[in-house]
Amino acid sequence: MISVVLVEPEGPANIGMIARTMKNFGFSSLVLVNPNLTEESYSYAVHARDVLDRALLVENFEEALELFDLAVGTTGKPGGRFIPHRVPLYPWELRETLEGYPGRVGLFFGRESIGLRNDELERLDFTVTVPTSEAYPVMNLAQAVAVILYELSKERPEAKVRSLEPATRREKEELARSWERLLEALNYPKDPERREVFAKVFQRFVGRAVLYGREVHTLIGPLRKAAIKLEECGDAER
């Protein structure tokens, strides 16, 4: 299931227009993070007032993040707002990535004025951007939502393998911690700052991958056992 998540939307009219756009393309799950929701929002929603009525209101970004197995951030400035190797997907690449994925997906859209903050983008699994003209690259929030939902609606991602459960956010975090523990046990790299980079690269790799719970637990086991063996060897030497 795909949900649209609006993080602290500032314009009441935009909230209503986005609800209308969602209904245009067959989406109905809306999450609003600390929104400026007014009667104007309902006025602009027109025949999509039911989308607003069913919207889930949460207080902060962290609360919204916990709702999803896979969190996708949107950005209009891919050139330097976050770490370079986190190259954003285009909307059609996002559709291909999500095809067949049965987990809960959140499409996070930021504030009209500043978008998603860097620390928020860091927490998301991967990002998507709409290619626009260099003459005026930044899109209106409602327009960006429309473009991405249009692309996703071409071939709505449906779960093809329902016997496999998608990895939860906590399971993926546990996998990243197991890798970090192994690096610590290996004392590799020796420079703690480089070791932290290695840990973050792996964490982002896990975040970008569409993983299932069984796969994650299959990876966690050997990593954890290897770390324990190395720790025991270290204790024996001391």
pLDDT digit string, tens, across residues 144-161: 999 999 999 986 545 444
Backbone region of residue 178 per phi and psi (left: phi > 0; alpha: psi in -120 to 50; beta: other values): alpha
pLDDT digit string, tens, across residues 103-119: 999 999 999 999 999 99
Q: Within 10 Å of residue 47's Cβ, how many Cβ atoms?
A: 10
**Average pLDDT score, the chain:** 86
Q: Which residues have a Cβ under 8 Å from the Cβ of 151 and sit 6 or more positions away? A: 91, 92, 94, 95
β pairing state of 126-128 and 105-109: unpaired
One-letter amino acid for residue 161 of the chain? V
What distance in Å separates the CA atoms of residue 84 and residue 74, rounded to the nearest whole number?
15
